[in-house]
Amino acid sequence: MPKDQNVSLSVIRRLPRYYRFLGELLRNGVERISSKELSARMGLTASQIRQDLNCFGGFGQQGYGYNISALYVEIGNILGINKGFETILIGAGNLGRAITKHMNFEKIGFHLAGIFDVDPHIIGQRIIGLTIQNIDNLDSFCKQHHPVVAVLCVPQQTARDLANHLVELGVKGFWNFSHYDLTVDFENVIVENVHLGDSLMTLCYRVNELIG
C-alpha cells in the first residue's frame, strides 16, 4: 500500500500499538473485530481507529469489521517490519547489553549486524552471537555492511560527534539513548530520542495528580 506522506506523527506512533494488540488477538485465536470492540480493548475511540487506518486505505468491511490477520500483515508492511534494516549498536555497557539481549530486532524490522565499544575490558565479549568490536573498526565495518540505523547507548558528550560521523558513513536513522537531542543538529536523518527519565517523570506527574 502506498504511503501517505501527510500522515501525522501521532498516527504513526499509534501504529505499533495497533500491531501489538492485533498480534495478541491473533495468538488468542480471534479472527475478526469491529472498530468498536478494538476501541474498548485499546482505550481509543472507534472513530479515532477508523481515521487512523483510513490514512493508509480502507481495511474494514461494513457489518464485518476487520479481518485481524489481514490487518496485522498490512500494518506490518506499513511499518516496514519485513525490511530487516541493517543496524549497529554503539555502547555495550549495561544499557546497551540490556537492549541487545531483550529487544528482538529481527521481529520488528531490523537486523542487528554489529556491536561496538571503546572499553578494552568488554571488547571481544559476545552478546547474542555477536562479538563486541572495537570502535576503531567502525569505518571499515560500515563500508562493508552499509548499516542504515544506529542505536546509540553512549555518553551525552560523545553523541554529537559520533552521530555526525555515522551520518557521513551513511546512517539514516538513530535510536538515541544518549540524552543528547540529535534532532537539533541533524534535520535530514530520522531520530527517535529515548528519554527513560522523561517517561518516568510523566508517570510521577500522573501518580501525583491521582493521589497527591
The pLDDT tens digits of the residues spanning 140-169 come to: 999 999 999 999 999 999 999 999 999 999
CB 176, CB 193: distance < 8 Å: yes
- Pairwise pLDDT comparison (182 vs 24), residue with the higher score: 24
Phi, psi of 134, rounded to the nearest 5 degrees: -65, 135
Mean model confidence pLDDT for the chain: 92
Give dist(CA 200, CA 18) in Å, integer: 23
In percent, the amount of the chain with pLDDT more than 70 equals: 95
Whether CATH 3.10.20.30 fits 9-79:
no
Q: What is the mean pLDDT of residues 85-90?
A: 98
Q: What is the mean pLDDT of residues 95-115?
A: 96
pLDDT the model gives residue 62? 67
Identify each DSSP E strand in 49-208 by its residue range: 66-67, 85-90, 110-117, 126-127, 130-134, 149-152, 173-176, 190-193
Q: Give the pLDDT band (50/70/90) at residue 5.
A: low
Beta bridge partners of 175: 151, 192
Q: Give the pLDDT band (50/70/90) at residue 63.
A: low
Q: Where in the chain is the domain with CATH 3.40.50.720?
A: 85-198
Q: Give the pLDDT band (50/70/90) at residue 2.
A: very low
Q: Give the pLDDT band (50/70/90) at residue 65.
A: confident
Q: Where in the chain is the domain with CATH 1.10.10.10?
A: 9-79
Q: What is the mean pLDDT of residues 131-136?
A: 98
Residue 174 in this model has a pLDDT that exceeds 50: yes
Q: Which CATH number fits domain 85-198: 1.20.1050.90, 3.30.565.10, 3.40.50.720, 1.10.1040.10?
A: 3.40.50.720
